[in-house]
Chains A and B, each alone.
Chain A
Amino acid sequence: MTKNDRLSRLLLELPWLIQNKNTSIDNFCAQFDLSRDEANKDLSLLTYVGPGRFGGELVDIQYDDENISVIDSQGFDRPLKLNYIEAVLLLLGVRNLSEMSKDKQEILDIDNKLSGLIGSDIANEKYKEEYSNKKNRIKEAIANRKQLVIHYVDSNLKLTSERSITPIEIKALDSKEYLTALDNNSSQKRSFRLDRIIEVALVPLEASPQEITQNDIYSEKISVRTKSWNASNILDLNIPYTISGDELQIEMDLIDPEFLLEIILRLDIKTEIMCSKKMKSNLQKMLNDRIEAIL
């Protein structure tokens, strides 16, 4: 071990001990890959340093054969910032777990916390804060059985008018969080992407949520075949697809032709679309309108 390695380690040890109060000396040794003797030397050195030379100006750590407690850290109570590579490694490690884990919500929470620890070039601090406040208000509504009035950006990127909903739960799927809620007007269960909910106001629950009903809604089975590398373009749409070799296939019952068009426009021109002639003609008309509308 070089002296520089030791200095780096000592600078890691003190904030770690503050965050892991009353840790055992065995755990400390294991975490920092130290023998008991090395651990004692590190702890001893740490109690000799500080902004001055006398008792009250030195780091105070109490330790015995069992536990370690930091009594006075002399102002060094915040850990050092993750450097860029460290942050990327942790995020990728968590991402690797998310591909194997069943508890997507917990993984997503960790991802968000880690992103919050990293500089602004990776995470957008202001937006993260707004998002977190919004999520807390929704959680509060779920916990206290309150209704919400929201504005929502729908799949066509149009801002809907006020919508009254009864929130049920927040679920994570891939890298996005979704709110499952009862739409109080249509009495249907809906899924809202959290980042597309714009404004949230809590209102007391006036009556028990109505029973969820399934109204008769016209839907059509559609099938789309494209190349597998287009998958990254549709991740955020939360639609089911399968990949076999270099082919990606989407099969779904579709209600909204505009949503199908959004999917298609994210793919490429070699995409095959299987749907009714009526649907295709609808889509062509929408495309034509958009071509003519653009200035």
Chain B
Amino acid sequence: MSVSKSERILNLFFVLINSKRPIPRHEIRQRVNGYEECESETAFERMFERDKDELRNTGIKIDTVPVDPLFDDELGYQVDSKTFLTKTVEWTPSERAILSLASTTWHRTEFENLAKSATLKTGGSINVKSSDESTENYSGELLKFRSIMRSLNSKSIMDFRYVSFDDNEPKSRQVIPKKLYRQGDNWYFDAYELISTTWKTYQTSRIVGEIVIKPASVIELNLLKKDNNQTLPRTVQVEINQNASLISHITGGIAIGDRTIDFKFFDEKSFAKYLLRFSPIIVSIDNEAIREHYKNYLKDFMEVLSHD
């Protein structure tokens, strides 16, 4: 009986995950049920390449590595261990119910299927009864995130007002976002700003008002391709009067000595403003521009406190 395509690809997957060593191509042909139907080596190779692509499209990465680590004359294949969750998580029934509800947040949006698939991967259940009768219950915050995700997905322009760390008033921004992520308590996105033509990082909670999504022109998308190199952060060392290794996780930096924390930053002025919250323990800053901005901010606040 002939083996279906899905069956053959799953067989390939099982052969690979059950092997502790990389498997050479000729052995895959012998062991995977379905490849014996190939009439020639060329036909097998074409089929194997297509099957690997299919697996890759489902999130399963197959590595090509030497069969013998000491010699690279024969290559073998193995499933990248990062394909799987590193650990299984036990969910309580009520946590599953919450996950299920969380997934319905994306009901009737372009992200519905992805959210369902994520819930099922966690072993959670989809709230099947919530469907059509449920009313959309989005907080203002979530509407903001939906716009960012939508813009990320379609490579569109986000037009919004934003208060940067060193600004006192919101300013208009037009950006094409690249990646949304969380760091500590805050969410950020990296985006290409069309006016300054530079890559910048934005904190979602500093967006004021609504985000308007506009299609990007070919010229604007080309700008993005031409300037694909994001600015790399610079580093500054800040000496403190406390044990750095015990408190660095609160500061967002990395302890590099008993009393020194290494920070990454993009903009001197914004970073100086951020450092103000650590001022009770700061002893020195090894960057002159940051140090001057930092002192000026402290002086500005002296002025604020002089008002009756």
| Separation of A45 and B57 alpha carbons in the complex (Å) | 20
Q: How far is the CB of A155 from chain B (nearest CB, A)?
A: 9
- Interface pick from A60-68, A78-86, A180-188: A78-86
| Separation of A231 and B240 alpha carbons in the complex (Å) | 27
| Separation of A19 and B87 alpha carbons in the complex (Å) | 13
Check: B195 CB closer than 8 A to any chain A CB: no
* Cβ–Cβ contact B139 & A96, under 8 A: yes
* Cβ–Cβ contact B102 & A291, under 8 A: no
* Cβ–Cβ contact B85 & A79, under 8 A: yes
* Cβ–Cβ contact B59 & A284, under 8 A: no
* Cβ–Cβ contact A198 & B103, under 8 A: no
| Separation of A227 and B58 alpha carbons in the complex (Å) | 46
Check: A3 CB closer than 8 A to any chain B CB: yes
* Cβ–Cβ contact A11 & B304, under 8 A: no
Interfacial chain A residues near B231, Cβ < 8 Å = none
| Separation of A276 and B182 alpha carbons in the complex (Å) | 40
| Separation of A90 and B89 alpha carbons in the complex (Å) | 15
| Separation of A124 and B111 alpha carbons in the complex (Å) | 26
Number of A positions contacting B (CB below 8 A):
105
Mask: chain B, 136-166; 1 = CB below 8 Å from A; 0 = not: 0111011001000100000000000001000
Q: How far is the CB of B110 from chain A (nearest CB, A)?
A: 11
Check: A250 CB closer than 8 A to any chain B CB: no
Check: B281 CB closer than 8 A to any chain A CB: yes
Interfacial chain A residues near B99, Cβ < 8 Å = 90, 94, 110
* Cβ–Cβ contact B95 & A109, under 8 A: yes
Interfacial chain B residues near A16, Cβ < 8 Å = 120-121, 123
Question: Most chain-B CB neighbours within 10 Å: which of A49, A156, A235, A287?
Answer: A49
Select which of A30, A113, A127 is within 8 A of B128 by beta carbon: A30
Select which of B31, B145, B181, B185 is within 8 A of A52 by beta carbon: B31
Check: A117 CB closer than 8 A to any chain B CB: yes
Select which of B86, B123, B249, B302 is within 8 A of A287 by beta carbon: B302
* Cβ–Cβ contact B242 & A92, under 8 A: no
Nearest A residue to B8 via CB reads A49
Interfacial chain B residues near A124, Cβ < 8 Å = 249
Mask: chain A, 101-122; 1 = CB below 8 Å from B; 0 = not: 1000011011001111100011
Check: A206 CB closer than 8 A to any chain B CB: no
Q: How far is the CB of A8 from chain B (nearest CB, A)?
A: 5
- Docked complex: B274-291 residues within 8 A CB-CB of A: 276-285, 291
Check: B192 CB closer than 8 A to any chain A CB: no
* Cβ–Cβ contact A90 & B31, under 8 A: no
* Cβ–Cβ contact A80 & B280, under 8 A: no
- Interface pick from A135-143, A161-169, A208-216, A263-271: A263-271
Check: B236 CB closer than 8 A to any chain A CB: no
* Cβ–Cβ contact B206 & A232, under 8 A: yes
* Cβ–Cβ contact A90 & B18, under 8 A: no
The secondary structure that dominates the A interface is: helix
- Interface pick from B9-17, B41-49, B65-73, B219-227: B9-17
Check: A97 CB closer than 8 A to any chain B CB: yes
* Cβ–Cβ contact A7 & B6, under 8 A: yes
Q: How far is the CB of A48 from chain B (nearest CB, A)?
A: 6
Interfacial chain A residues near B115, Cβ < 8 Å = 86, 89-90, 93
Number of B positions contacting A (CB below 8 A):
106
Check: B125 CB closer than 8 A to any chain A CB: yes
* Cβ–Cβ contact A270 & B168, under 8 A: yes
Q: How far is the CB of B238 from chain A (nearest CB, A)?
A: 10
| Separation of A227 and B300 alpha carbons in the complex (Å) | 17
Knowing A19-B88, A90-B122, A100-B137, the reply to whether A121 touches B205 (Cβ < 8 A) is no
- Docked complex: A258-279 residues within 8 A CB-CB of B: 258, 262, 264-266, 268-273
Select which of B101, B163, B185 is within 8 A of A97 by beta carbon: B101
Knowing A11-B60, A231-B205, the reply to whether A198 touches B168 (Cβ < 8 A) is no
Nearest A residue to B91 via CB reads A113
| Separation of A88 and B149 alpha carbons in the complex (Å) | 9
Select which of B87, B98, B114 is within 8 A of A106 by beta carbon: B98
Show 28 residue pairs from A and B whose CB-CB distance is below 8 angstroms, ordered by the A residue. Answer: A3-B5, A49-B10, A51-B11, A74-B14, A76-B13, A79-B84, A86-B121, A88-B149, A88-B181, A90-B99, A93-B104, A97-B105, A99-B141, A113-B91, A117-B122, A157-B240, A158-B242, A195-B249, A229-B163, A229-B208, A231-B205, A262-B280, A273-B304, A284-B302, A290-B279, A294-B282, A294-B283, A294-B295
Q: A79-B84, A94-B98, A262-B277 are in contact. List 20 more A-B contacts (CB 8 A).
A: A7-B10, A8-B57, A31-B126, A76-B17, A79-B85, A80-B83, A82-B85, A92-B149, A97-B105, A100-B137, A110-B98, A117-B85, A122-B183, A174-B185, A175-B185, A232-B205, A232-B206, A236-B185, A288-B302, A295-B284
A contact residues vs B (CB 8 Å cutoff) = 3-4, 6-8, 10-12, 15-16, 19-20, 27, 30-32, 45-46, 48-53, 59, 74-76, 78-83, 85-97, 99-101, 106-107, 109-110, 113-117, 121-122, 124, 127, 151, 153, 156-159, 174-176, 195-196, 198, 227-229, 231-233, 235-236, 246, 258, 262, 264-266, 268-273, 280, 283-284, 287-288, 290-291, 293-295
Q: Closest 5 A-B residue pairs measured CB to CB?
A: A19-B123, A93-B102, A86-B118, A232-B205, A295-B284
